[in-house]
Chains A and B, each alone.
Chain A
């Protein structure tokens, strides 16, 4: 089967699994989310008509009653229409609108921070592996210890030192609240300024993983025959390091992107709470604290789809940087 077809099939399967998991979880676990939701809705002055109740039952289960299968079909139908229900914590906003407001913040923050951390980690890892046996070796245990630090705690420390202590960065938030969100230079500047500390937290905590993986692969690649050939060819050291050793050593780091991305996303959710960042992580926690099950589920689904999408992109890139992958799957 074609490499790309295989990949697409896998991600479809993963997507289906995530969607189904989302459907099954509230039905399997104890408690009666629909009743809690209806009570909340009433407090907020929402309509408690049977239609609203039925919408939530499709999403969360009836606790007996109707057929699970027909609920599943209706649930899939709602998803296809982009209807994720109504949020009670942000009533009467629709879940999809709440998500649409907060998603860009997280995508930009986590996306940029992850990219930065990947480039930094892989670059440093290549260098540390290449210059093995020098003082650079000390970077490996140092950054590994950093990646064992809980994200949120590191965030607290950074805030204590750089915001409270030195006053270099704002304490929290995603932008200066006196500004109107929009594409003005002032607003974007403020958003970048507010994003530096959360991004720094993510980079510091995740760079060690990339560095260690790259360094180890680099050490293995350096004993390969093609590196020997390159040395015999009299190529410059920098060229051998980049075009021969690192070019091969980076492949597993790219292939293992999925694992690391999951960690980064998980960590950044908690980081957002520390910074009261207006992203999707804060919204997820807000949803959990308010028993806003519809929002909770919608956010989980969106996070999962985003992670799947990022992995799909990386997988497709992998096919480009390693020609062997494409051809091998043609044979099998």
Chain B
């Protein structure tokens, strides 16, 4: 892995589609191909089949002929040609599916989109109505309704209408949730403020964004309608004089096809339903991938480190962590070289600042040190060496998975943005702290675990009574303190802090920073502190590395950098923070 020339310098972000509509088209995949092929074939069969095959109702005197010869799929008990019946029934089922699909989608659109967009009482009522319709089981209701309507008045239209009325609610709920989030987006708000008419905002700004969901719900409604109709007809409650796959199965059942081993009678209709439903489901997978790009197929990463250099870096005096010529590449369609040849040394007990704009590669670097980078990121070359207190050197990039697991948090812990989602939202703080001790100190008695958790909370100034709290019950500052307490649990030698104070207000930020400094002085761990806020680093760190486009452009003592910034980019960064030289600058040290 030496040839890095084709790599571009763009920041690692998903390239935006130039054309708004292109993003709405499914990406080609074998699943989509199979789905479209199968569905297309069945639709063609329903369209053309009835024209080619003979009259499905013709009665012949040789019933239950097995497939072959003149009758490709055999005959029914009354000698009717199964292939002809199948073609007509497929057409009938598809018609009902399409009709119900359209009606149900329109209904769900009205109740989901309009309700959510209108908001207030309308939304409350529409939403309550959809939810009630959702919990009332559909098919029993359809059966009861069909049971009351005399058979001669049960037309295809009536059945379709009833199926649509009982089948729209789930889709309305999905659409409502999506519309609620859309109507708060900036461009929708802008359109509303500029006085555009409601129907225009819905049609022009909101509908196009809902198209993938509408498409997916439509496909789902068609499948559901075909299935429900088949069930209804199988029970003898379908539309009068209609011919669908369900009625075929009804006659097969009443003609004792099963008992007479006439599989050619009852297998094909069900198979067509199953294949059509399966094909639409495959198409839906591709639509889902548009709605949620995370679901796109991705090959599992075989390794996170490509090449490991065997010569671990010789320890600089007093170093605890040495990063040498580290390269990290996002192996996307156009590979992105996120960290380029970075070399850093962290001394025991020092605070090393890592500064740069978002997208400069500082977080990728920090994660790669602990091998936490996610695919498609790969360490392509370089070395990370941890120099243990007892004199042993650990080649982090060469650790086997189990060794790596044992290394993490014991030697090197991390503090993420606790104000965001770094704490598990559904378990109390206690469980998340104790997890660490359970895993890394398996022999520790429960009472000691509890004691240790309380102790670290006290260290960061949080009442140990908070152990039973859930993350959402704590303020942002408190969550950040809990994150730090968690990082302290095993008394690590290095702590990597990724923007730990970014989401906090200035006063809380100040408290946390003082806390970090105090703890560092007391417990003498080394810190890699990542932030975009260079003035904050000038105040906090011993040394600072400034990163830009994956490279360290300047690496110097904090004071040196403040007084004599060498690289033009550092000067630019310093100048971009106003008031640095007066009130805030005066606070430094």
Contact = CB atoms under 8 A, between A and B. Distances in A.
B8 interface: no
Contact of B417 (A225, A230, A232): A225
B294 A153 contact: no
| B interface, over-half SS | helix
Interface stretch (A179-187, A193-201, A244-252): A244-252
B372 A216 contact: no
Contacts of A18: 136
B72 interface: no
A160 interface: yes
Given A150-B273, A225-B417, A234-B406, A133 B295 contact: no
Given A232-B370, A232-B414, A269 B421 contact: no
Contacts of A149: 270, 273-274, 277
Given A289-B236, A304-B140, A148 B273 contact: yes
Given A13-B128, A288-B235, A152 B148 contact: no
Interface stretch (B13-21, B45-53, B182-190, B433-441): B433-441
Contacts of A147: 277, 281
Interface string B82-106: 0000000000000000000000000
A265 B137 contact: yes
B559 to A, nearest CB: 32
A308 B370 CA distance: 50
Contacts of A17: 132, 136
Nearest to B276: A148
Interface string B114-134: 000000000000001001101
A64 B394 CA distance: 90
A236 interface: yes
Interface string A17-43: 110011001100111010000000000
Contact of A150 (B135, B270, B300, B370): B270
A324 interface: yes
A234 B135 contact: no
B132 A13 contact: yes
Interface in A141-162: 141, 144-145, 147-154, 156-157, 159-160
B439 A153 contact: no
Given A29-B145, A148-B273, A321-B426, A235 B435 contact: yes
Contact of A31 (B148, B249, B409, B421): B148
Contact of A10 (B128, B150, B406, B431): B128
B198 interface: no
A285 B425 CA distance: 47
A216 B426 contact: no
A214 interface: no
Contacts of B140: 265-266, 269, 284, 299-300, 303-304
A47 interface: no
Contacts, number: 259
Interface stretch (B225-233, B340-348, B523-531, B544-552): B225-233
B139 A269 contact: yes
B135 A322 contact: no
B278 A148 contact: yes
B237 interface: yes
Interface residues of A, number: 90
Interface residues of B, number: 91
A234 B439 contact: yes
B330 interface: no
A164 to B, nearest CB: 7
Contacts of A313: none
A244 B25 CA distance: 34
A223 B435 contact: no
B145 A266 contact: no
A308 B135 contact: yes
Interface in A171-190: none
A233 B408 contact: yes
A107 interface: no
Contacts of A157: 267, 270
A101 interface: no
Nearest to B421: A225
Contacts of B435: 230, 233, 235, 239, 243
Contacts of A243: 424, 427, 431, 435
B144 interface: yes
A150 B250 CA distance: 13
Contact of A25 (B145, B237, B414): B145
A256 to B, nearest CB: 9
Interface in A200-247: 216, 219-220, 223-226, 228-236, 239, 243-244, 247
A288 B237 contact: yes
Interface in B403-424: 404-410, 413-414, 416-417, 420-424
A118 interface: no
Contact of B281 (A13, A145, A231): A145
A327 B249 contact: no
A26 B145 CA distance: 8
A51 interface: no
Given A226-B425, A308-B135, A266 B231 contact: yes
Nearest to B280: A148
B298 A132 contact: yes
B231 A270 contact: yes
A148 B132 contact: no
Nearest to A145: B278
B299 interface: yes
A163 B407 CA distance: 57
Interface in A246-285: 247-248, 251, 258-259, 261-262, 265-267, 269-270, 273-274, 284-285
Given A235-B435, A327-B472, 17 more contacts: A25-B144, A26-B148, A30-B153, A33-B148, A144-B281, A150-B249, A154-B270, A156-B253, A216-B288, A229-B414, A229-B423, A265-B140, A273-B234, A273-B235, A291-B147, A296-B143, A324-B470
28 contacts: A10-B128, A10-B131, A13-B128, A14-B132, A25-B145, A29-B145, A31-B149, A141-B282, A153-B230, A153-B273, A156-B266, A159-B258, A164-B259, A225-B422, A231-B372, A232-B372, A233-B413, A234-B404, A265-B137, A266-B140, A266-B231, A287-B147, A288-B147, A288-B235, A300-B143, A311-B135, A322-B426, A324-B425
Q: Which 6 A-B pairs have the closest CB atoms?
A: A148-B277, A133-B300, A266-B139, A153-B270, A234-B408, A145-B278
